[in-house]
A and B are shown apart, each in its own frame.
Chain A
Amino acid sequence: MTELLQRAFLSDAAGGKPSNSASPALMHLGFWDRLTGAAQLLAACCCLLLFFEYVSRPFFPIDSRARAVIFVLLAASALLMIAGALQSERRARRESVLREDEKRASLAARSANLGLWVWDRPNGVLWATPAYRALLDLPEGAPLTMDAMMAHIHAEDVAGLRTAMNSATLGQKTVEYEYRYLRPGAGLRWFRIRASGTLDQDGGGKLSGLVMDITEQRKIEAEVESQRRSLTHLSRVGMLGQLGGALAHELKQPLTAILSNAQALQRILERGGADMVEVRAVIRDIIQDDSRAADVIRHLRSLLKKDEFRGEALDLNEVVSQTLKLVRNDLMVKRIAVAIKLHSTRLPVTADTVQLQQLLLNLIFNAVEAMAESSARGGTLSLTTGIGGEGLAHIAVADTGPGVKAEILAKLFEPFVSTKMNGLGLGLSISRAIAESHQGKIWAENNATHGATFHIAIPLAKETA
């Protein structure tokens, strides 16, 4: 295929009209051309000789043996001509097949917006198809050199591209690299280059390959990513409704302490003869509780903010207990007992706190709803963290509800699958997206006795300390 593409590129480079001189693959067929030419010349000479012999026979009769030799030569040249004609016929057929292949390959390359190139590194020659030139959008007539091309590549990608090209040359392998190209007319474009290197006998390297414009593809990917983010964010904002009570509770606690401290201080000062040590202690406590309230608000803001994925070094145990704190009140009101079993040591992961909390909250809310549906007498929510083998941290969220129906279980994490009356069926698909963005997995199973368990596994981070 590469050979074909190369040929296609060469024919493309010649303006779509292949010629023998430009097509090394056809070069060896010239021998038959020369042979046929020689045979024709020989036959013509023989015919001329026979004609002169016939005209001059009354005056200069020649030896019948010499005439026989001429006839033999004539016959031989005729045979050679026939052979040559047959050969050229074969050649024409092969050429037409090749040309057809080349045409197809170049059509494919053009329609896929592929630019093909060959870079003769030691000689500094860069061959490229017109499609490639069009991608680069270099000014007309400007010489195509590696330096001219490199000058337009995004500064952050130059070093990477050079490294990729070098490793292709030295390793004689195929490498791929994506880089940004500043096209003078059309702004920033994303290109993907695929290069394969070969080494000459004299040690010089030759690179060839193709380049494609993946800007549109990138745009679509970015669009999909941003929509996913919007959806994640929206579901989080929706979750805030459910969390409202818990957050209000978290905020009221420090506010209560602040108010009571301040009013106590007011009374102490009004009474006169205040103990300054006590006064200082009260003020210190007010400041402390104020920052506690600020933390709650910061957390709330982080839940409301539409952030990109931010991986931080976290302890999974910590994330689980923090999340539980948010819903503790809600669980108590609904008379749901909590059984929490955290792994005895830290579970270091690289994760986005907000997203991980969202994922856990989603599972907890689902569990709570499942239990509320099945009985009015509450139930037990079990949260367990541990190591799930192969360097994975594992969280299990189990409930004592009615469990998940077998036919739903298989497609539980697909979008728009819901068992709730007013459910959109997005919660778990968002949960899966979050797990996957952490290089993790999420799955569910029904418990042996009653209820269901949802599992999350995400890779453990290697702790440097």
Chain B
Amino acid sequence: MVAKKIINNFSITIATVNGSGSQTANVTLLRALFKMGIPVSGKNLFPSNIQGQPTWYTIRLNKDGYTARCDGPEVVVGMNAASFTHDLASVSPGGAFFYSDDIKQPITRTDISVYPMPVKVISRAANVSPALREYISNMVYVGVLAQILGIDMVSLKQALYFHFKGKAQAVDSNFGTIDASARWAAENLKKTDPFFAQPMATKSEYIMADGNTAAALGAIYGGVQFAAWYPITPASSLAESLNIFLPQLRKKQDGKATYAVLQAEDELAAIGMAVGAGWAGLRAMTSTSGPGISLMSEYSGLAYFSEVPIVVWDVQRVGPSTGLPTRTAQADLTSTYFLGHGDTQFVILLPGSVQECFEFGWKAFDLAERLQTPVFVLSDLDLGMNQWMTKPFEYPDVPMDRGKVLWEKDLEKLAGVWARYKDVDGDGIPFRTFPGNRHPAAAYFTRGTGHDENARYTEGAENWEANMVRLKHKYDTARTMVPKPAVSNMKGSELGIIAFGSTEAAVREARDIMKKKKGLKSDFLRLRALPCTKEVFNFIQKHERIYIVEANRDSQLRQILSAVMPDQARKFRPAAHNDGLPLTANWIQDAILSQEEK
């Protein structure tokens, strides 16, 4: 079989048992390929389980920089007897299948290259304790793949060094197994597949990180002072990252902290604590996923109505209900936008990359405090938990905006005359004071019940309506402050595409495919926030047909945009789909072309 070499343009799926330590091996492969300068992405498809269930990890190498999940895979590693039949069948024709040779199941394919690996034999030879043997056995496929595909050994060692934080013993024992396996493969396997990983000379301006770490770091550079959270997949690692980095970045020399992170008893309490802290003048946040957002509904309404700044990160997973807790979706948009009873409107930020998770991490606090309102940031499992190539984090380019706050000296100038809910500046945003302000006129009483401009209780019809109208006006002010969309046009295109969040890479690739294969040009608006800024209105007005691409069933962004711009709604065409997996470029172009060709 002499096939044309396929270099840096294929995907690898590794099938393992969860809890077996394969993540270290998989991320090591991903990082080594990244170090070789090859554009690469890794996606972990894992079960809601601690140990023993099938799990898959997919790595895509693409010399052109397309890093969305793709169809395939061309290369499959079968380490799990339970999913062996499925994994073997999943290999693309002409692909390669590596498997642990202690799995005694029939190889029914003749259209692919097959490589048995003596995983048990090699890992038994490794100089490690029996307890570590299972972990180290995953390094066998790393070594064999390295030999057959051409993955650089130095890069692998760098990846291990990073993973084990420089602990020599761990690096050496893992690398020893990789090296032994590579040598075994060199002596015993004959390469018959066409897939090669080759170093690329691209100057790497990228780093590799996950969105939850980026979000936590962004929050830290945004001056987060209080975070309360409750464990939930896929959001837990966001708060855990705060716990890792805050002590390093935000402790004084005497060891005293400028922050507090508290694991609450539930999501009701997590947001309640954030509201208390935000009310009292701290930059306060919580992080959760869809089920947590449901529980946070009542407090969100209170914070909206009593005008308390908080930041809520929703790392979305598949719902409703417990749903698919370890799979990704963009399906909390509608519920978050309309969260709470009565008339509410929330500011929502939609990061589309790991770097943007960092950026919105700090920006969200500026917006929340400026607008005195909850700001939701909707990430997702794919963005939050997977490792992505991303541009380095950029230090905030503007000073912190603490919003309209009156301290003692301000109140002295005003001779103590002020009103908590009075729109002094015409932007719908009033002034506020914090507990601890010793001016005798500083205090006011905050409530979720009807109040007048002085925060006094009233059931007055006019007071109620005037306040709600002001809040609506404030939301219009938000429209001028939230991040503008990212727009990318192709000259002469009539077609518009709107998407948000983690689908960016797949949409970019789909547009290129449609242009190349069908000559179909498209303009792309990646929405970065709600409410819609004027750029969004302009984009929609300029295009006759607009596909709205999103990872949910009900085309939620289309629903919202239709409500915001009812006169434009006829233009909107859904391209919505969710099966728990990140969207692929192929699916997107099919969804668009099938409607275009009608």
A, B co-complexed: no
